[in-house]
Amino acid sequence: MARSSTSVDVAVIGAGPYGLSLAAHLRARGVEHRIFGEPMGPWKTNMPLGMLLKSYPWATSLSDPESEFDLKSFCTERALPYHDELMPLPLSRFIDYGETFQARYVPAVERKTLIALEPGSGVLRATFDDGETVHARRVVVSIGLHPFKRLPQEAAHLPTELCSHSGEYGSLETLDGSEVIVVGSGSSATDLAALIHEKGIAVSLIARRPKLHFADGPRHRSLFARAAAPMSGIGHGWTLATCAKYPQLIRHFSKDLRVRLANHKALGPLGGAFVKDRVVGQVPVRLSQAIRGVETRNGKVVLDLVDSAGARRSMRADHVIFATGYKVDVSRLGFLSQTLLHRMQLVDGAPQLSAHYETTVPGLHFIGPAAANSFGPVCRFVYGTDHPARHLARHLSTVLARVRPALQLRPLDRTVSP
Ligand SMILES: Cc1cc2nc3c(=O)[nH]c(=O)nc-3n(C[C@H](O)[C@H](O)[C@H](O)COP(=O)(O)OP(=O)(O)OC[C@H]3O[C@@H](n4cnc5c(N)ncnc54)[C@H](O)[C@@H]3O)c2cc1C
């Protein structure tokens, strides 16, 4: 393994929508930086092929400095069908858009994994899986949700052949010929159940909730309805609309209120509008089922269930997929040294952030879903990329002494593919 040591002003960890947007703005401002990670990584490997995004196309763009390359421009350039809200956005198209954005605005992504982050003298020391150590004056962590998968305690002992988390599926091939149970009631559960069923694999869906809820499909809304509950990039209603537009306001609220807003009940669990008819009446669904225990018997997994009336039943399958969501908990990030972790003030497992997305460790910033307990629920969506990208790039270009003249930037090559 090559061992080398280098230094940089800003290290961006993560090349999903948040990391790419920030890097595009840093580059335009001439801030010296490097960006690490797999471009659009989890979208390519952790989300099921065939998935439709839940957010509206108009609210699913990355942030570039001139606001010139949103999803609509991408589709127009390629003569792809597009509508702000009447048609769903397929996962494959969003990946294509993200990779094209990366090739144009962030051409130098380094596909390496951060394995250790420690304090150095006046810098942070980031060590990568190829042995390189980077001394960075600022580190911005934008690693998304996938490091924070949540499995129920009862399933912790199960082998991976029998049980998985919904965030482990790109392709569904490993499930061919199996009998599968999906546990959960949100969009991951309903998306997976529909896709598995449509592949001809026997699947049932079980959920603790008494009813499956789906987002409203696109429909005409009267002026009154729009005034009473305006539409925003993250959902209907004045609360979400305010959160979507003014993330910087949220930081001034009490901790309790911020955590409640980050987990706003209108945001889920909720299936996507376009998947409803592919689940209801198609996939066997058992509701109001709580899991009391999980065991293995004769190579199968057996769920011991109890319903709201106290009736018990067991269900068996070859494989159970827990679509039980994510919970940001930075203590689970293997790369963070104990020293950094102890210095970091937390709000319900996520870092407490300053107005500049900085943790209580000087020089260490978090953006994306891990920032939601400080900046509100917009950080959980692609729609939230613009604020940290613009704000943090401006802030870093001001505070870092070694500001370089801004590159005369035009998107590199309109026809380049990644
Ligand atoms: C199933 C599912 C469906 C979703 N659908 C939508 C939707 O329809 N609309 C919407 O707005 N949001 C949706 N979201 C939320 C969405 O995932 C987030 O809004 C968005 O991906 C966050 O972007 P990000 O850049 O923070 O992280 P990600 O897109 O998750 O990217 C993380 C990046 O970090 C890198 N990385 C991770 N660990 C390391 C490491 N140790 N070292 C180096 N690099 C690392 C990865 O390689 C990758 O480049 C969905 C989430 C899930 C789980």
Q: What would the pLDDT profile of 294-351 be if each residue is shown by its tens digit?
A: 999 999 999 999 998 999 999 999 999 999 999 999 999 999 999 999 999 999 999 9
Give domain status of residue 415, yes or no: no
Give domain status of residue 265, yes or no: no
Q: What would the pLDDT profile of 351-409 be if each residue is shown by its tens digit?
A: 999 999 999 999 999 999 999 999 999 999 999 999 999 999 999 999 996 544 444 44
Which residue range forms the structural domain that includes residue 380?
4-148+326-399
Separation of 346 CA from ligand 1 center, angstroms? 21
Give me the chain's average pLDDT, please: 92
288 shares a domain with 373: no
Domains contained in the chain, number? 2
What is the reported pLDDT for 405?
Answer: 47
Nearest CA to ligand 1 atom 12: 381
146 lines ligand 1 (CB under 6 A): yes
In terms of Cα–Cα distance, which of 127, 146, 117 is closest to 38?
146
How is 60-90 classified by DSSP, letter by letter? -----TTS---HHHHHHHTT----SSSS--B
207-215 average pLDDT score: 92
List phi, psi (to 5°) of 114: -75, 125
201-225 average pLDDT score: 88
Q: What is the CATH number of the domain that holds 360?
A: 3.50.50.60
Token pair, residue 80, equals: 């792809």
Separation of 402 CA from ligand 1 center, angstroms? 30
Beta carbons of 406 and 31 less than 8 angstroms apart: no
Separation of 142 CA from ligand 1 center, angstroms? 8
Q: Provide the 10 A C-beta neighbour count for residue 344.
A: 18
250-270 average pLDDT score: 89
SS3 6: strand
Nearest CA to ligand 1 atom 31: 16
Give domain status of residue 174, yes or no: yes
Atom of ligand 1 nearest to the CA of 379: 19
317 shares a domain with 183: yes
137 shares a domain with 74: yes
Of the ranges 33-42, 164-173, 286-295, 305-314, the best mean pLDDT one: 33-42
Nearest CA to ligand 1 atom 9: 55
pLDDT at 412 over 50: no
How is 132-198 classified by DSSP, letter by letter? EEEEEEEEEE---SGGGB---GGGTTS-TTTEEEGGG-S--GGGTT-EEEEE-SSHHHHHHHHHHHH
Distance CA 286, CA 182 (A): 10
What is the reported pLDDT for 402?
Answer: 52
Give domain status of residue 257, yes or no: no
22 shares a domain with 124: yes
143 shares a domain with 81: yes
169 lines ligand 1 (CB under 6 A): no
What is the reported pLDDT for 55?
Answer: 92
Atom of ligand 1 nearest to the CA of 380: 19
Using 50, 70 and 90 to split pLDDT, how confident is the model at 266?
confident
169 shares a domain with 314: yes
Q: What would the pLDDT profile of 75-87 be if each residue is shown by its tens digit?
A: 999 999 999 988 8
340 lines ligand 1 (CB under 6 A): no
The residues, any chain, with a CB within 8 Å of residue 160's CB and separated by 6 or more, are: none
pLDDT at 416 over 50: no
Give domain status of residue 224, yes or no: no
Give domain status of residue 65, yes or no: yes
171 shares a domain with 119: no
388 shares a domain with 287: no
What is the reported pLDDT for 401?
Answer: 63
What is the reported pLDDT for 417?
Answer: 35
Using 50, 70 and 90 to split pLDDT, how confident is the model at 217?
confident
Mutating to test ligand 1, I would choose from 45, 127, 146 the residue with most ligand atoms within 8 A of its C-beta, which is 146
